[in-house]
Structure 1
Amino acid sequence: MTPANRLRALLAEGRLLTMPCCYDALSAKLIEQAGFDLTFMSGFAASASRIGQPDLGLMSYAEVQDQARNIADAIAIPLIADGDTGYGNAMNVRRTVAGMAKAGAAAVMIEDQLAPKRCGHTPGKDVVGREEAFDRIRAAVDAREEGADILILARTDARHTLGLSEAIDRAAGFAELGADILFVEAPKTEAEMRAICSELPLPNMANIVEGGETPDLPPAKLEDIGYRIAAYPLSLMAAAMQAMVETLDCLRRGTPRDEHLMSFSELRRRIGFDDYYAASERYASSRRD
């Protein structure tokens, strides 16, 4: 099946899909190796990893598409790509959606923030007017209908400045326009999360940021509320950064660092050295490498 069809099949199962988010090809491979069914390229984490900058709209469309292509090439599980605001007007949204499909993404997220966008759990964000928000999703759906084999994840950040009712109304409009998955960002209570899932018709995604605004509920609770995808955008990056900072501190102080490190043999295996060597046995010239 195509990546999009694999994602459609997962959503049709009707269960909660726990989705650790990646930021590069290696983190995506680790997610797949751990047995998860899908992943999401976190814009926050990808911006930090690729350009060492915060998620404030600094990465270009070409950089994001290239990052998505590298990730999709490394894994077999479906990848949802972060398309931000679509990188311009409605015509840019069409190009973004088509480009993410060509990069191998199973779905692309398009949101209604003002450009330049920012992380949904940081200060200063705002949204465009309703009609412009609808135009973005209309353009995304048009790109899909004209041949881009990809699902549309429609996101609204309206809860932050305009309230939950406006956010739900916008998401309902996205559904009517043909979006496949809905994402109301940053509800503040379990009651708000229940309202979202009870009032909106499509599969809904929860975004669980440790220390963020949305309650960090256990997966069983999220499934009971009605969510179909639970995204964890920063868990892996936060864990990796903590381990790196601790290891660097050990190196600076000259103290043992083994407890923070994966073994060299495990490192090689997970990156793919063992698979490479096994496959290369078929070719005499490769065996000399």
Structure 2
Amino acid sequence: MTTPAARLKSILARREAVLLPGTPNALFANVIEGLGYECAYITGAGVTNMYLGAPDVGLITMSEMVQHIAVIAESVDIPLLVDGDTGFGNPVNTYRTVRAYERAGAAGIQIEDQDFPKKCGHFSGKAVIPADEMVQKIKAAVDSRRDGDFQVIARTDAIAVNGIEDALERAHRYIEAGADVTFVEAPDNLEDIARIAHELPVPQIFNYVFGGKSPPVEHETLKSMGYGAGLFANAALQAALLSVHDVLGELQRTGSLEGVRAALASFEMRQSTVRKPRFDAMEKRYT
């Protein structure tokens, strides 16, 4: 049986813009796997929003992310690409982060070249570290992995700071340092989106952010460009947030859920998603 890292490597190498939904918890990961997605992304922004109730401004810690990885990896069998922010420090910290992520069950890590504290890639006011410093983080990440197939994804946020030419130059340097995949964040026009996939020799990730800086791109267009994955990091969280707001707002106004029954998962769907039949079978077996 191939490892999760080998499966993720193979998926991205197809360059078919695999749909990569994000999850902040095991429940959403169960839904993603149950719907037949090949892989999932554990989103740092989503974990920060849902776990801390805070914005994506560099508040989540490495140990908190590792706890989430372990729980989610225990719940699903699909490979997990995990947000590693800036590596949570210098190259030595990055080395430790990769070891911890891999041990917890990640199949790959995404690290970025923002200065600390980092921000969501579609926020304003970002800053990036020197490319030389990021190169050393990538080298540390590559050296620290135990499974050679564990995917090291290098993200650059340089477009917003220095423009597309610097972002592409950085991506080339990160590939030379050993990155398996690169991720040029927040291109704001279709021409640059196409350039990224055409000019960089390794698989690329495009980040669909609803309401973000990048224009919407049809999935077939992204496939024709040869992207490795189309990332929907927080679509599930945004859908859940709107539903919770609407349902609890109706409850507050009317004291009833009758007007929002269509927005509620059935009792049966809820129990199926958390795999209650599996636990029932275990209980029966061991009783």
**Normalising to structure 1: TM-score of the pair?**
0.95
| Larger deviation, residues 120-129 vs 272-281 | 272-281
Corresponding residue of 2:20: 19
Amino acid at match of 2:128: V
Deviation at 1:30, TM superposition (A): 0.5
* Per-residue deviation, residues 19-51 of structure 1 (Å, max 9, x unmatched): 111010111111000110011111111101111
Calculate percent identity across the aligned residue pairs.
36
Corresponding residue of 2:195: 195
Corresponding residue of 1:47: 48
* Per-residue deviation, residues 163-183 of structure 1 (Å, max 9, x unmatched): 101100111111111111110
Corresponding residue of 2:283: 280
Q: How far, CA to CA, are the matches of 2:150 and 2:82 in structure 1? A: 10
Instruction: Please tell me whether the aligned partners of residues 5 and 147 of structure 2 are also in contact (alpha carbons under 8 angstroms).
Output: no
Instruction: Please tell me whether the aligned partners of residues 194 and 226 of structure 1 are also in contact (alpha carbons under 8 angstroms).
Output: no
Corresponding residue of 1:184: 184
Corresponding residue of 1:33: 34
Amino acid at match of 1:28: A
Secondary structure of the residue aligned to 1:141 is helix
Instruction: Please tell me whether the aligned partners of residues 205 and 229 of structure 2 are also in contact (alpha carbons under 8 angstroms).
Output: yes
Correspondences of 1:115-130 after superposition (within 5 Å): 115-130=116-131
Amino acid at match of 1:196: I
Secondary structure of the residue aligned to 1:281 is helix
Corresponding residue of 2:221: 221
Instruction: Please tell me whether the aligned partners of residues 47 and 54 of structure 1 are also in contact (alpha carbons under 8 angstroms).
Output: yes
Corresponding residue of 1:271: 274
Cα-Cα RMSD: 1.3
Q: How far, CA to CA, are the matches of 1:8 and 1:192 in structure 2? A: 25
Q: How far, CA to CA, are the matches of 2:13 and 2:183 in structure 1? A: 18
Return closer, same or farther for 1:149/1:223 CA change in 2, 3 Å cut-off: closer
**Normalising to structure 2: TM-score of the pair?**
0.95
Instruction: Please tell me whether the aligned partners of residues 101 and 149 of structure 1 are also in contact (alpha carbons under 8 angstroms).
Output: no
Q: How far, CA to CA, are the matches of 2:162 and 2:12 in structure 1? A: 30
Amino acid at match of 1:279: M
Q: Count residues with an aligned counterpart.
A: 283
Instruction: Please tell me whether the aligned partners of residues 155 and 182 of structure 1 are also in contact (alpha carbons under 8 angstroms).
Output: yes
Q: Is 1:142 aligned to residue 174 of structure 2?
A: no
Correspondences of 1:73-88 after superposition (within 5 Å): 73-88=74-89
Corresponding residue of 1:104: 105
* Per-residue deviation, residues 216-271 of structure 1 (Å, max 9, x unmatched): 11211111122110000121111000000011011101242312101101111111
Deviant stretches of 4+, over 6 Å: none
> Where does structure 2 lack aligned partners over 5 or more consecutive residues?
none
Instruction: Please tell me whether the aligned partners of residues 40 and 81 of structure 2 are also in contact (alpha carbons under 8 angstroms).
Output: yes
Deviation at 1:11, TM superposition (A): 2.7
Q: Is 1:243 aligned to residue 246 of structure 2?
A: no
Secondary structure of the residue aligned to 2:230 is strand
Deviation at 1:113, TM superposition (A): 0.2
Corresponding residue of 1:132: 133
Secondary structure of the residue aligned to 1:53 is coil
Q: How far, CA to CA, are the matches of 1:238 and 1:127 in structure 2? A: 27
